[in-house]
Amino acid sequence: MKTMTCKQLAGACDQPFSANSFEEMANKSQQHGKEMFQQRDQAHLDAMNKMSKLTPEEMKAWFEQKRVEFDSLPEDK
């Protein structure tokens, strides 16, 4: 398992997510984002708004960059 925080995944808080793969990590982050969206958390709404302004190419590049970041993380103890 590896851990990344909401902030590391373009979010707005320090909530950690643990996952075995980057896909799982992305899913957990998205799920959390949806919950925060439903609660109308302003910080997360701003973060999502920022991400939504990226072009598909920029989004892809961001995603790949985060995948590399995930791969380079040490395994949780």
Residue 40, number of CB atoms within 10 A of its CB: 8
47 touching Zn ion, by CB under 5 A: no
62: phi then psi, degrees, rounded to nearest 5: -60, -45
For the bound state, the minimum distance from the C-beta of residue 49 to Zn ion, rounded and expressed in Å, comes to 14
Residues 6 or more apart whose CB falls under 8 angstroms from that of 1 comprise: 18, 19, 20, 75, 76
11 touching Zn ion, by CB under 5 A: yes
By beta-carbon proximity to Zn ion, the closer residue of 13 and 45 is 13
For the bound state, the minimum distance from the C-beta of residue 32 to Zn ion, rounded and expressed in Å, comes to 5
- Rule CB under 5 A: which of 15-34 touch Zn ion? 15
13 touching Zn ion, by CB under 5 A: yes
Helix (H) or strand (E) holding 11: none
Binding site for Zn ion (CB under 5 A): 6, 11, 13, 15
